Structure 1
Amino acid sequence: MTAKQEPLKLMVTIAERHQGAVLADFYTNQGVFWHYQCCGFGTASSDLLDVLGFGSPERDILLSLGTSSCITRLLYDLNTELRAQVEAKGIVFDILLTGINQLVASVFYENKGEIPEDTAKGEIAMTGYGGSHSLILVAVNQGHTDDVMDTAKKAGARGGTILKARWLGTEESKHFFGFTLQNEKEVVIIVVPAQNRNLIMEEINKAHGISSEAQGMICSVGVDQVVRLT
């Protein structure tokens, strides 16, 4: 990453069911335009749900990507002047990315011409995070998760979890470098030792990256501690 390329962040929104698309539109108007929506189910008691303001345990989980400055500003505004404009209830937090495939990163750095040299199959380290583990997220077209996990395991991963998701980004961001992203997605979540992260991401990107049939968007975030439950 060059000095001019600021870090990217993953913004996670957990809101009431049916609010994900509304929030994605709202975030897009604020400059954060790349979103994947997943469905979840809260485990809090009914009393705690009332305290938190949730009317139902069903959740929309929105995964949004953007530059650090844009997401930091959006979170600040959501906590101040924009609070009254958001009718949805939930929680929003951000995580600094530790890695992302270069072709996807180039979209955020406004390089929307031809595919940059050596980016179609490359992986880019975003920070010098020194934790013991990383969380890799791979968003791919439906039907490709088994292939992604096979590739990840050959590179050293032990296993993963799959979430059903849907693309909610803008039409403009859906079309770039000659590719058209499909709406129905699956997100593979893999926790790996930090020293294996780059190799696993690179192998997944080579076989299932954004220019492949799977159209994989690969990124990673730092994990401070990992405990295995038996």
Structure 2
Amino acid sequence: MPTNIEMDHITIIVPQGKGEDVLRTAKQKGIPNGTVSQGYGTANEQQMKESEAHGLVRDIVSIVAATDMAEIFLKKIAEELGLGKPGHGIAYAVNVNDLYTERLENMDDASRNESEVQVITSIIRHGHSESIMDAARSAGARGGTLLRDKAGMDPESSLFSKGTEGDDEIVLIISRKETVKPIMEAIRERSGMDAKTGVMYVQDAHFVYGLKK
């Protein structure tokens, strides 16, 4: 039987071009693999159209690592990139409950402390991100990050396949725990999200750097 270990999924959101620097630092710390995707530092449609001119494009780095390594790595990357400064980025880790590489392993997270910061993830049909963020801001959210997931030429491959547009959008909002429920309620009530247009869930975050106070 494999020994239960704690694993984390690390997300680091940094200005465009910094993602490769993050991966290089990860390798130096013994974390060999990671991916970089593109996102936007806002969910405002007009700003997204002008994103490159305004420097709003973000690299989204995703890495899975043992929790003890994640803690050391995130502290290092926060120092290197100045994540406490406005516009420099944000980083956090969430628990991995099950990990499949060569076999499925159950992660033991019973000893983890309750988190004071949580991540709200909304996966929605194309075109709904602006209403999501407007609703979230009305309840105290400081901002969010938008990822557009290309589902391909066939709209039927989208998570919400009845639309004519084959893209899904993912909005990440990082917030302190006391504001998460009001934000989610505002999104549900004011954005028009329902089972046909989106799904929303919350995860505890830890080792958080760059969150506005």
The reply to whether TM is greater than 0.5 is no
TM-score, structure 2 as length reference: 0.45
TM-score (norm: length of structure 1): 0.42
